Amino acid sequence: MNIIIFGPNGSGKGTQGAVIRQKFNIPHIESGAIFRENIAKGTELGKKAKEYIDRGELVPDEITIPMILNRLKQDDCKNGWLLDGFPRNPSQAKALWEALQKEGMQIDAVVEIVLDRETAKKRIMGRRLCENDPNHPNNIYIDAIKPNGDRCRICGGRLTVRSDDQDEEAINKRHDIYYDEKNGTMAAINFFKELSKKNNGIPRIIEVDGRPPVEEVTKELMSKLEALLK
Ligand code: AMP
């Protein structure tokens, strides 16, 4: 299975991506993580990318596109891959599509976790971390997982906030890029949707409502992906 996953920050894309990776046993290729690895190792690529990443901007296509296309050619991608964080604009989407066509590779599914901007922002800013267990979900803006006063709703543990979750400016900047239908990630998604319309439903587009609790989103996503295999 070759899958691309889209979803704004706060949509649970990382969590759903991890489930897909396990289920289909394919490498989860995250452009942001590749950049962070290169920065940590001090590679040339890392040095070039760092200044953009630190400013919250996209790394230029000349760096990003070849990096991802090379990654997809590695051995562990032979039986499929899950691409996450790329493409983030229409030119990356087009470059990816053209490169895959050239290699005779196809995209089996383009997954979009659909979540409106306001909800996505609240998801991030309302998140509270339980000191006893980071997997205890608590969010002051989501009724289903509202903390018990100022304590964890599951174990009563003390709650803290992640400082980057409260950086409203950074969240807005990321969402500006994601929800931009002209030059941003939404435009990349629309590129595949248009393609699919013209091309008899290929690549397959799978839209999943990102509003329900994580497990329900996973259930819907998996049933739609499994239907593709039948
Ligand atoms: P992420 O972990 O996906 O949020 O990515 C962290 C940062 O890496 C982003 O804010 C961008 O600066 C950079 N980045 C990740 N993916 C891309 C991409 N497809 N194109 C350009 N820059 C990217």
pLDDT at residue 214, rounded to an integer: 86
Domains and CATH numbers, the chain: 2-116+185-228 (3.40.50.300)
Task: Determine if ligand 1 sits within 6 Å of the CB of residue 52.
Answer: yes
Q: Is the CB of 64 under 6 A from ligand 1?
A: yes
The CB of 34 under 6 Å from ligand 1? The reply is: no
Gap from CA of 19 to ligand 1 centroid (Å): 21
SS (H, E, C) the chain: CEEEEECCCCCCHHHHHHHHHHHHCCCEEEHHHHHHHHHHHCCHHHHHHHHHHHCCCCCCHHHHHHHHHHHHCCHHHCCCEEEECCCCCHHHHHHHHHHHHHHCCCCCEEEEEECCHHHHHHHHHCEEEECCCCCCCEECCCHHHCCECCECCCCCCEEECCHHHHCHHHHHHHHHHHCCCCCCHHHHHHHHHHHHHHCCCCCEEEEEECCCCHHHHHHHHHHHHHHHHC
Q: How far is the CA of 155 from the centre of ligand 1 (A)?
A: 35
With a pLDDT cut of 70, the percent of the chain lying above it is 100
The pick from 6, 29, 50, 59 for probing ligand 1's pocket by mutation, whose C-beta has the most ligand atoms within 8 angstroms, reads: 59
Q: What is the pLDDT of residues 15-57, one digit of tens each?
A: 899 999 999 999 999 999 999 999 999 999 999 999 999 888 8
Q: Per-residue pLDDT averaged across 121-148, rounded?
A: 92
Region 119-146: mean pLDDT is 92
Instruction: Give the residue-averaged pLDDT of 70-76.
Output: 94
30 CA distance to ligand 1 middle (Å): 9
